[in-house]
Amino acid sequence: MKSKAWTEKFMQGVFFIAACASVLAVALICIFLFANGVPAMKEIGFVKFITGEMWKPNNKIFGILPMIVGSIYVTAGAILIGVPIGILTSVFMAMYCPKRIYKPLKAATELLAGIPSVVYGFFGLVVLVPAMRDFGKMLHNAFPALFPSGGNGNSMLTASVLLGMMILPTIIGTTEAAIRAVPTHYYEGSLALGATHERSIFRIVIPAAKSGVIAGIVLGIGRAIGETMAVIMVAGNQARMPVGILKGVRTLTANIVIEMGYATDLHREALIATGVVLFVFILIINFSVALLNRRSGRE
Amino acid sequence: MSNRNTLKQKMKNYLNHPGSLIMMLLVMFGAILTFLVLIFLIVYILVHGVPYLKPSLFSLHYTSENASLMPALINTVIMTGLSLLIAVPLGIFAAIFLVEYAKRGNKFMGVIRLTTETLSGIPSIVYGLFGMLFFVNTLGWGFSLLAGAFTLSIMILPLIMRQTEESLKSVPDSYREGSFGLGAGKLRTVFRIVLPSAVPGILAGVILAIGRIVGETAALMYTAGTVAKVPSSVMGSGRTLAVHMYNLASEGLYMDQAYATAVVLLVLVVGINTLSGVIAKRLTKA
């Protein structure tokens, strides 16, 4: 009897330790990133590092503003493209979709989430880049003043379109769940007052699902800003301040992967510091998602 | 909903409300666009990749002539096995603690929840950086399958924890009470009664995790490295299929093989997702 009680206690301890693993992992990630990145920021000068417009590792000039701005632009583009299409698709899934085709379509959106980012990147490389090259040429011919050159297809626009595709499943999943969580009597009440199906959806149901929809958008921002391989393959990756939507940009994530292979000393630490900046962005985004979810849970 | 209206009535309604008509068309357009993009992506890669699926692509050794994906495929299997070996017990035990042992409203629970949420939001490149700093450098493992597997196991931990938690919670309390009533202890109840009933849900989560491992690139480039052969031990460096795919595409020398590799990756991931869906469906039926 006594040994049984001991086993119970022992296993409870094991379960407890396992539960601590995620806490330990987050602590280790924070410690190691900050311990390796912050000294470099200090050496370069924090303000100089964040607001410097030049990234020239060979001359020991480390300013990551171009990459910060690049990440923000590309993400904003992805949101502009992905969010409207994602919300419209989720409205279709929740309010229009005939029952018979719902299951295969739902499986399709899950598949969209499961496709690896390299495959997206490869698709972007072989399909989107050439298409954007032609599109750029067309724009250049039509508006030579606005677009002094058509670019080679590796551009901010290409990266935004690709990322917009990639965040679709995130947006669709959360928005659909949020729409379905709205009590049906909201919708029925609106219909009873004489509003059309569409008016009820867009004036009553979606506003009621607002915080869930916003949480989905913020999650999408997190995915877009953290995406690495797909962006590298289509964005051009020039380390300079972005000059136009048809020109190449480099994101924070791309900066790390491209140069980490051969970087040494301060250069290497500056790349880790780039990772720290990205990590802080992500932490802020995660925190806002948690906050939004809490709020929508309370309502 | 408004299914009782005949088509004619519907048309008339829409003509009376042009704003609604426009919104309806927009919704249809959005949905069609989404699914067209998906279909186009899959069909494009299949059409261009399948003709290049030659036997030489599956030869055991990678040479600059065949750009074989077999070593990378074997590495992927090893990597998946190792990562699951670490993450699955850890994730299941952690979920058992959260569901079966921890008291409701415990402060520590909040901390664990917050950290798992944080983990699931961290992008893979940050995991890659951490893995490089911690496993590769600090622990001195070098670029190795083991360092890659540990990095990935942290990455999939929140996924497995959440899935297990959900399926443990869905086991009715009457099972537990019945087991206690028959004189079983807590541990026996958990392992003999609760866990077996939760297996399908856990399995669906594990398979989803496999999908993530197979598709992962950024977290592995600087932890497991990019050597194109099967290492002699887990302390050796080797590239998985997704990393292999990235290298082929970015080098630009083996575009045909890159198409074929994309097909293999796509088929693997689609297969894994479908399997997970089938298991999850069986769960809801039971």
**pLDDT tens string B218-276:** 999 999 988 888 888 888 888 999 999 998 888 878 888 889 999 999 999 888 888 87
Whether residue A51 is contained in a domain is answered as: yes
The pLDDT, as a whole number, for residue A2 is: 59
Strand pairing category for A61-62 and A55-56 = antiparallel
The pLDDT, as a whole number, for residue B285 is: 54
Looking at the partner chain, which of A117, A125, A168 has a beta carbon nearest the beta carbon of B215? A117
Domain that holds residue A191: 47-298
- Whether the CB of B133 is below 8 Å from some CB of chain A: the reply is yes
- Closest Cα in chain A, distance from residue B217 (Å): 7
- Whether the CB of A38 is below 8 Å from some CB of chain B: the reply is no
**pLDDT tens string A164-191:** 999 999 999 999 999 999 999 999 999 9
Whether residue A180 is contained in a domain is answered as: yes
Whether residue A9 is contained in a domain is answered as: no
Whether residue A7 is contained in a domain is answered as: no
Categorize the per-residue pLDDT at A99 as very low, low, confident or very high, splitting at 50, 70 and 90.
confident
Q: In chain B, positions 111-130, which contact chain A (CB-CB < 8 Å)?
A: 111-112, 114-119, 121-130
Whether residue A198 is contained in a domain is answered as: yes
- How many domains, in total, are found in chain A? 1
Whether residue A290 is contained in a domain is answered as: yes
| Mean pLDDT estimate for chain A | 89
Whether residue A34 is contained in a domain is answered as: no
pTM over 0.95: no
φ, ψ for residue A55, nearest 5 deg: -125, 95
User: Residue A153 maps to which CATH number?
Assistant: 1.10.3720.10
Inter-chain contacts counted by CB atoms under 8 A, chains A and B:
247
Whether residue A52 is contained in a domain is answered as: yes
**Fold held by B55-285:** MetI-like fold (1.10.3720)
- Residue (of A9, A7, A84, A34) closest to A283 by Cα position: A34
**Structure ipTM:** 0.89
Q: In chain B, positions 171-210, which contact chain A (CB-CB < 8 Å)?
A: 185-187
Give the span between the Cα atoms of A179 and A169, in whole angstroms: 15
What residue of A is the nearest CA neighbor of B187? A8
Q: For chain B, give every domain's residue range.
A: 2-52, 55-285
Give the span between the Cα atoms of A162 and A114, in whole angstroms: 15
φ, ψ for residue A238, nearest 5 deg: -75, 130
- Residue (of A205, B86, A229) closest to A237 by Cα position: A229
B141: tokens are 């493992």
Give kind and range of the element (H or E) at residue B124. helix B124-131
Collect the ranges in chain B with pLDDT lower than 50: 1-2
